[in-house]
Structure 1
Amino acid sequence: MNWDWNAVRDFMPHFWDGLLVTLKALALGSLVSFALGLVWALLMRTPTRWVRWPVGAVTEFVRNTPLLVQLFFLFYVLPEWGLAFSALTTGVLAIGLHYSTYTMQVYGAGIDAVPAGQWEAATALSLPRHRTWSVVILPQAVRRVVPALGNYVIAMLKDTPLLMTITVLDMLGRARLFSQQEFRFTEPLTVIGVAFVLVSYLASVLLRTLERRLVR
């Protein structure tokens, strides 16, 4: 294999720029998916079916639509309706919205796993509904679902290369641009492949550490 370390050296400044964009998209997309997923989960537990049905229909549609299609819709169609965002913002919103439909199910499982006695104790203490959720139920539910949420963080990381299709210069976008300019494909693609493995591993280590702290 014709490996050129000079090509690696030349690519590294572009790599660091792409890595920063990838991590930014991952962090912001994760925050959106976690927050919006919790909102969906709580709305699905409202007693009013006129709230549950639309939320269920929207989340089911988003979950069963490819993320790439959603990216194209948000980036190319919404501007025709007067809603235009930057490429990175569009990517963050698309990833966050798409994965919120999965984190919604994770939160739901965590809420269902809270023992019934906790609900009964809150009722016996005459706690208001919002206090029951914020102080009793959600802290216990979130503690149970951290490992599953961590798996979706890694899944989101693996999907960030899709942002290249809407002109976001993440790691893959930088590698592709460098390869086309320098006619060197092996080195930049290998570098970002190793980077994805390392970032995924570090994320899994951090999540396991957080899980142990929550258990204690």
Structure 2
Amino acid sequence: MLFGITWDTSNGDLAFALSILPILLRGMVVTIQATIAGFAIAMVLGLIFAVLKSVPLKIVSWPTIVITEFFRDTPLLVQLFFLYYVLADYNIILPAFATGALALGVQYSAYMAEVYRAGIEAVAKGQREAAKALDLSASRTFTHIILPQAVPRVVPALGNYLVSIMKDVPVLSVVTVLEMLGVARIIGDQTFNYLVPLSMVGGLYLIMTLVASALVRFVDAKLPKRGLPFK
């Protein structure tokens, strides 16, 4: 029994699969929530890093480069343990789910920063020169000229990271986040039947990644290739 839900192990694999499906679906909801939260953090933080790395002042760009390289070159598990266990020694205690979402967001923000940077640099320099000729401020040039043209270019790459984040969510089980794979492992430990729950998790993950990929393709197809409109 888990979360008050019992499963049937006496009437074959089909009955067993049907009995554990509700609890696996609850774990899938946690997986989706962690994916969305981590992806949102990574998108925002990655854009901030990309902007700071492009600042001409080395006192701003160099520390940002060091930070992003550190995030990118250290394992997600190490970052997760640091946020959950080390910060607790300094009385900074975060909920397990928030810690997991933050760790995912921080890890992938370093990758997304490079994606944003590539998209920003792909915008023709003539766009910046035209904005300067029109006496637009640097902030207005970035938010209304550069960024709207860069975003459509990087959507496919960001979509790849969305799928990658989803597949990394099971790591959060080490800090007691009961996502889908963690639930399946507990069921296997209690019933000594790992084949059925793990096979179901594999199938559910396949469905989720296919849906996520289709959603990214839909968004990519709908975005105007010449840039997002700004009023």
Q: Please confirm whether the aligned pair reaches a TM-score higher than 0.5, indicating the same fold.
A: yes
> Would you say the 8 A contact 1:3–1:186 is kept in 2?
no
- Aligned partner (choices 11, 25, 29) of residue 16 of structure 1: 25
**Corresponding residue SS for 1:4:** helix
Structure 2, unmatched stretches of 5+, are 1-10, 226-231
Map Cα deviations across residues 184-210 of structure 1 (whole Å, 9 max, x no partner): 211110011001111101111110011
Cα separation, 1, equivalents of 2:91 and 2:116: 34
Which residue pairs with 1:208 in the alignment? 217
Cα separation, 2, equivalents of 1:172 and 1:164: 8
What is the CA distance between 1:3 and its match in structure 2?
Answer: 6.1
> Would you say the 8 A contact 1:114–1:141 is kept in 2?
yes
Structure 1, unmatched stretches of 5+, are none
* Structure 1 stretch displaced more, 3-12 or 168-177: 3-12
What is the CA distance between 1:215 and its match in structure 2?
Answer: 3.5
Which residue pairs with 1:194 in the alignment? 203
- Aligned partner (choices 130, 138, 145) of residue 136 of structure 1: 145
> Would you say the 8 A contact 1:3–1:187 is kept in 2?
no
Corresponding position: 1:74 with 2:83 = yes
> Would you say the 8 A contact 1:110–1:145 is kept in 2?
yes
Map Cα deviations across residues 100-153 of structure 1 (whole Å, 9 max, x no partner): 000000000000000111101101111111110110000101110000000000
RMSD between aligned residues: 1.2
Higher-RCO chain (CA-CA 8 Å, sequence separation at least 6): 1
Which residue pairs with 1:171 in the alignment? 180
Q: Which runs of 4+ in 1 moved over 4 A?
A: none
Which residue pairs with 1:124 in the alignment? 133
Q: How many residues align?
A: 215
- Aligned partner (choices 40, 51, 70) of residue 49 of structure 2: 40
Q: Report the TM-score, using the length of structure 2 for normalisation.
A: 0.91
> Would you say the 8 A contact 1:106–1:145 is kept in 2?
yes
Map Cα deviations across residues 151-210 of structure 1 (whole Å, 9 max, x no partner): 000011110110111111000111111111222211110011001111101111110011
Q: Which one has the bigger helix percentage?
A: 1
The percent identity for this pair of structures is 45
* Structure 1 stretch displaced more, 54-63 or 93-102: 54-63
Cα separation, 2, equivalents of 1:35 and 1:195: 28
